[in-house]
Amino acid sequence: MPVSLSPEEILETIRMVDAQNLDIRTITMGISLRDCVDSDLDRLGQRIYQKIVRLARNLVTVGEELSRDYGIPIINKRISVTPISLIAEGCGAEDYVALAHTLERAAQEVGVNFIGGFSALVHKGCTRGDLTLINSIPRALANTERVCSSVNVASTRAGINMDAVMKMGEIIKETAELTAERDGLGCAKLVVFCNVPEDNPFMAGAFHGVGEPECAINIGVSGPGVVLDAVRRYGEADFGTLASAIKQTAFKVTRMGELIGRRASERLGVPFGIVDLSLAPTPAIGDSVADILEAMGLEKCGTHGTTAALALLNDAVKKGGAMASSYVGGLSGAFIPVSEDAGMVSALEVGALTFDKLEAMTCVCSVGLDMIAVPGVTTAETIAAIIADEAALGMINRKTTAVRIIPAPGKKVGDRVEFGGLLGSSPIMALHTFESKKFARRGGRIPAPIQSLTN
Amino acid sequence: MFDANGGNVQFTPKIGQPTIDGNRVIVTVLGQDRVGLIAGISTILAEANVNILDISQTILQEFFAMFMVVDLAQARVDLAELQQRLEAKGKELGVKVTAQHEDIFRFMHRI
């Protein structure tokens, strides 16, 4: 053939899409809102709306065109914007919920399903604007469908802002209460980070960082099903062979992201940012990270050996993916969201996966304690302590960690929550019952670790 | 292209235009072999003035598989329209027909 492709190669690509759920998870357009700043809240809202609509007007059309031309599904088209706390501070408003509505309207107008950036960066301390934003989060998330929020409370360089951590414990509780009739769904759109990346295309944690250009296209690939198939094919192989097979698969998957990213960038006339190498599961059967771990030889995800299996998987995906793209960024690791991964849910149901094992797993992959539903009676202090633990893992290991936790109102261990769609459903996970109240309420900052002194 | 002069960003989106890397598309036919398969698919291509550059067929894991490299440079329809016509013909013939820009395969299997 003129392109010297073999039938096996063509068929392999088609199988990946048809049988193994290979898709481009998201094309996310990052948009800087820094030139929208205004001293008047209404004018600020108008400028934000106009800019988003102007830059993202063709995003969905281009996404659909690319999907059709190349025969690969592109599941989500999304937008991330400069953290609203930075843009709104000068307007003097005491509440930014109106801006969440502005983002919602802009997202609706251009047809994207999520818009991220109702965010604040407070790893060392809060300004008045940061606090205003954080206080607006519960109502912003309860009154919008598409707006996502994130708050960075810690970094390796700054340490952990424990005042912000405690505050976020309270905000998560309030968000859950305001969306109680939907099992606390608002919390599924809120991520608390340590070492947050500024170019992450995945929701709910996406925003357009301050070091980013005016506008950029970032791509999130997927493909747990493809990796699962590769692992199954090497059922008896040793770890070196297995890692190699995963690397080759990750390479191919990432090349798809690179192609779509370059073409989207050309067609939209916007610079290409990064490809995020993350393995992002969905509730679909066969699209599970837990299934990959089990295919490596574990009876159930969460049992002894799970952390090692995940470490191998995460590292092999990065090694393969890094070779496939000019620019790798974002979170780039395996995601282990519980409710969004049928294998994780199943492991939780049979008691194989516990909270403590999940926390251990987050040490060796991205992102953290993701989409875990916990009892409604969980206190703000306990949630803050969970965030502090996860932030400590990120801070010491110089990696991104995050907490997306849903204290489902009125639910207890043994009950289930249903979020629907990609957010999935899950049983309630049991937490430790001993209190962390005095620790969480101590206040101040946990100092930056010795690892931060690299100069 | 892109001009990052603050709020004065100029945009030149290229909606609906062919991709810059040429017009070659790979048509794949998967299913049960039968009389008239190649004729049926080729007719659709000929009607659309799509040139066939190469054809190969094989039995892969008990499936009949046919691959065509075609050129849409002189085509009377765009890729989307061609995909619809091929899909309809495929249904009629009881096979699965896809048409994808060749870059998807080139990017995945060639560096």
Judge if A164 and A65 occupy the same domain. yes
User: Does A53 map to a domain?
Assistant: yes
Same domain, A188 and A228: no
Q: Is residue A23 part of a domain?
A: no
Alpha helices, DSSP H only, in A325-444?
342-349, 355-361, 380-397, 437-440
Encode pLDDT of A208-247 as tens digits: 999 999 999 999 998 899 999 999 999 889 999 999 999 9
Q: What stretches of A100-198 adopt beta strand conformation (E)?
A: 114-121, 147-155, 159-161, 190-194
> Which residue, among A117, A119, A122, has the nearest Cα to A163 in the 3D structure?
A122
CB contact under 8 A, B20 and A266: yes
In this structure, are A128 and A169 located in the same domain? yes
Out of A35, A51, A58, name the one closest to residue B13 (CB). Answer: A58
Residues A180 and A270 in one domain: no
Contact A51 B7 (CB under 8 A): yes
Handedness of CA A175, A178, A183, A185 (dihedral sign): negative
Q: How far apart are CA A374 and CA A383, in angstroms?
A: 10
A316 and A255, same structural domain? yes
Domain membership flag for residue A20: no
The per-residue pLDDT for range A327-340, each reduced to its tens digit, is 998 888 889 999 99
- Which residue, chain included where needed, has tokens 């809060």? A126
Q: A223 and A356: one domain?
A: yes
Indicate whether A124 belongs to any domain: yes
**Count of domains forming chain A:** 2
What is the rounded distance in angstroms from the CA atom of residue A246 to the CA atom of residue A229? 10
- Asked if residue A362 belongs to a domain, the reply is yes
B58 → chain A, closest CA residue: A7
Share of chain A above pLDDT 70, in %: 99
Claim to verify: residue A189 and residue A42 sit in the same structural domain: yes
Q: Is residue A50 part of a domain?
A: yes
Residue range A190-217: mean pLDDT, rounded? 95
CA distance B93 to chain A (A): 20
The answer to whether B65 and A11 are in contact (CB under 8 A) is yes
Q: Are residues A264 and A349 in the same domain?
A: yes
Tokens of B103: 């870059």
Q: What is the pLDDT of residues B51-107, one digit of tens each?
A: 999 998 888 777 788 999 999 999 899 999 999 999 999 999 999 999 999 999 988
* A75 falls within a domain: yes
Interatomic CA distance for residues A394 and A402, integer angstroms = 8
Mean pLDDT confidence for A419-442: 94
Beta-bridged to residue B71, according to DSSP, are: B24, B51
* Domain end position, chosen among A160, A194, A228: A194
Do A316 and A370 belong to one domain? yes
Tell me whether residues A68 and B105 touch, CB distance under 8 A. no
Write the residue in A11, A54, A269 that is nearest to B60 by C-beta.
A11
Q: What mean pLDDT do residues A379-401 have? A: 97
Q: Is A442 on the interface with B (CB under 8 A)?
A: no
Tell me if B2 and A270 make a contact (CB, 8 A cut-off). yes
> Which of these three, A194, A209, A229, is where a domain ends?
A194
Residues A122 and A247 in one domain: no
pLDDT band, very low/low/confident/very high, at B1 (cuts 50, 70, 90):
very low
| pLDDT tier at A205, thresholds 50, 70, 90 | very high
CB A281 within 8 A of CB A287: yes
Domains of chain B by range and CATH? Answer: 24-109 (3.30.70.260)
Residue that has been written with the tokens 């965030």 in this structure? A387
Alpha-carbon gap, residue B66 to A320, rounded angstroms: 30
- The reply to whether A50 and A173 lie within a common domain is yes
Contact between A96 and A84 under an 8 Å Cβ cutoff? The reply is yes
Q: Give the best residue of B64, B104, B110, B111 to mutate against chain A (max A CB count within 10 A).
A: B104
- Residue B18's pLDDT is 47
Confidence of residue A283 (pLDDT cuts 50, 70, 90): confident
Q: How far apart are CA A299 and CA A371, in angstroms?
A: 23
Q: Are residues A252 and A370 in the same domain?
A: yes
| Residues spanned by the domain of A383 | 219-445
Consecutive H or E run containing A216: strand A215-221
Chain B residues inside the 8 Å CB shell of A219? none
Which domain CATH number covers A137? 3.20.70.20
Question: Computed over its alpha carbons, how large is the radius of gyration of chain A?
Answer: 21
Q: Which of A5, A54, A61 sits opposite B105 (nearest CB)?
A: A5
Q: In this complex, do A2 and B12 lie within 8 Å of one another by their Cβ atoms?
A: no
Kindly report which listed range (A259-268, A384-393, B15-24, B72-81) carries the lowest average pLDDT score: B15-24
Residues in chain A: 455
Residues of B whose CB is below 8 A from A62: 13, 15
> Per the omega criterion (within 30 degrees of 0), is the bond before A367 cis?
yes
**A215:B9 CB<8 A:** yes
The C-alpha angle with vertex A258 and arms to A150 and A276, in degrees rounded to 5, equals: 25
Q: Which of A143, A178, A194 is the last residue of a domain?
A: A194
pLDDT digits (tens, 9 = 90+) for A107-133: 999 999 999 999 999 999 999 999 999
| ipTM of the modeled complex | 0.80
Q: What does pLDDT average to over chain A?
A: 94
